[in-house]
């Protein structure tokens, strides 16, 4: 018992020597320990980002909000100043600098110039309807924005019925609607001839198709992998890996992947997809970190997890995020040039 008690007393002292925690009054010691814990959490997340791994819970969840690590880094700095802890001050400044570096848009390399003339200009909309609740908002956006291609996620039976209505059929005579539970349902709508193809396998439906636009066959794929919830990280990684394989297997065929990826540029699994040469339209159009989720706090606070990824034959011109209402996601509307080459 005496040996155990002595060991317990020695442990904080050993930790203090290891990180050079300051002595002094009780308030300074508490501030130093709070700074240590705060900066340690930030450093673990930044370390995973630096080595290219998504780690384990809660790292993937925190990576989605990486820019906001500046807040605990600043808090660590203030606590270190209050504790008069020089090492903590330097640590906090380094954490803030590394976070600032990673906030820069991820760039896997310069995009090759597209071959051939512009065959068509098209508008693409992707929207997660949160179990179909934002169906009315989607229909209003379709009437107002008139996209050529639409990727819909979380389309319940009511949503599916609305997309089969005469008005929508007139505007989008070509479609692939997959029903299931409210979270599973997905759809592709097209104003151009559409040929169904097998989509990417996943817990949630991700249909695929080929649209012929301006004489160019364009591969279309809905993205909706499972979110990185505790206990489901393996499924999330696997499904993002399948989307990566789809992108990597495109050859020279024009390809577009649109949807709710449940991942940001700070997730290694998503960057691996970009490393195949696919381009993030929002990044190319100058809005790389505009949050799309959760809608309740965006655009002030959130993460951009809704994307339109395009191959070299497509050049984004503009990208806008739309509020549909009744969903926790913002829709993404992208204008593109499709080159024939």
Q: Please, are residues 310 and 255 in contact by the beta-carbon 8 Å criterion? A: yes
pLDDT at 8 over 50: no
Spatial separation of the C-alpha atoms in residues 169 and 340, rounded to whole Å: 28
313-327 pLDDT, tens digit per residue, is: 999 999 999 999 999
pLDDT at 338 over 70: yes
What pLDDT is attached to residue 299? 87
pLDDT digits (tens, 9 = 90+) for 124-165: 999 999 999 999 999 999 999 999 999 999 999 999 999 999
Q: Looking at the predicted structure, is the pLDDT value of residue 10 above 70?
A: no
Which helix H or strand E contains 217, and what residues bound it? Answer: strand 216-223
Residue 6 scores a pLDDT above 70: no
Bridging pattern class, strands 279-280 and 314-322: unpaired
**Cβ–Cβ < 8 Å for 121, 337:** yes
Confidence of residue 21 (pLDDT cuts 50, 70, 90): low
Measured CA to CA, the distance from residue 211 to residue 193 in angstroms comes to 6
Select from 237, 241, 315, 238 the least CA-distant residue to 276.
241
pLDDT at site 7: 46
17 has a pLDDT exceeding 80: no
Residue 337 to residue 316: CA distance in whole angstroms: 6
Residues paired with 322 in a beta bridge: 331
Q: Model pTM?
A: 0.91
Q: Does residue 216 register a pLDDT over 70?
A: yes
Distance CA(220)–CA(124), nearest Å, equals 11
Q: With 60 as the cut, is the pLDDT of residue 16 above it?
A: no
Q: Is pLDDT at 92 greater than 80 in this prediction?
A: yes
What is d(CA 125, CA 244) in angstroms, rounded to the nearest whole number?
Answer: 21
When pLDDT is averaged across residues 228-257 and rounded to a whole number, the result is 97
Q: How confident is the model at residue 19 (pLDDT cuts 50, 70, 90)?
A: low
Query: Do 255 and 218 contact (CB within 8 A), yes or no?
Result: yes
Q: Which domains does the chain have, with CATH numbers?
A: 2-103 (no CATH), 118-339 (3.60.10.10)
């Amino acid at each position: 018992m005496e040996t155990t008690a002595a060991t317990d007393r020695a442990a904080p002292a050993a930790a203090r020597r290891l990180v050079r925690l300051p002595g002094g009054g009780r308030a300074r010691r508490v501030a130093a320990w709070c700074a240590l814990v705060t900066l340690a959490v930030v450093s673990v997340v930044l370390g995973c980002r630096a080595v290219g791994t998504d780690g384990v819970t809660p790292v993937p969840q925190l990576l989605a909000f990486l820019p906001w690590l500046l807040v605990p880094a600043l808090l660590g700095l203030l606590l270190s100043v209050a504790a008069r802890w020089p090492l903590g001050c330097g640590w906090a400044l380094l954490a803030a600098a590394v976070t600032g570096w990673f906030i820069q848009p991820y760039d896997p390399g310069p995009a090759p110039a597209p071959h051939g003339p512009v065959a068509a200009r098209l508008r693409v909309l992707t929207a997660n309807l949160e179990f179909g609740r934002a169906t009315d908002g989607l229909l209003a956006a379709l009437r107002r924005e008139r996209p050529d291609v639409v990727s819909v996620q979380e389309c319940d039976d009511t949503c599916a019925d609305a997309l089969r209505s005469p008005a929508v059929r007139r505007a989008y005579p070509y479609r692939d609607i997959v029903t299931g539970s409210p979270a599973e349902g997905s759809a592709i709508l097209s104003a151009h001839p559409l040929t169904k193809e097998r989509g990417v396998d996943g817990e949630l439906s991700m249909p695929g198709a080929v649209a012929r636009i301006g004489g160019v066959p364009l591969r279309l794929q809905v993205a909706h992998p499972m979110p990185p919830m505790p206990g489901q990280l393996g499924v999330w990684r696997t499904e993002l890996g399948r989307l990566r394989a789809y992108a990597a297997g495109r050859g020279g065929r024009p390809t577009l992947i649109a949807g709710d990826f449940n991942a940001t540029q700070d997730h290694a699994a998503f960057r691996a997809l970009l490393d195949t040469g696919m381009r993030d339209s929002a990044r190319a159009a100058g809005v790389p970190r505009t949050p799309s989720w959760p809608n309740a706090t965006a655009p002030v606070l959130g993460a951009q997890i809704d994307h339109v990824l395009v191959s070299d034959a497509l050049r984004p011109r503009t990208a806008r995020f739309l509020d549909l209402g009744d969903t926790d996601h913002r829709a993404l509307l992208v204008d593109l040039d499709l080159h024939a080459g």
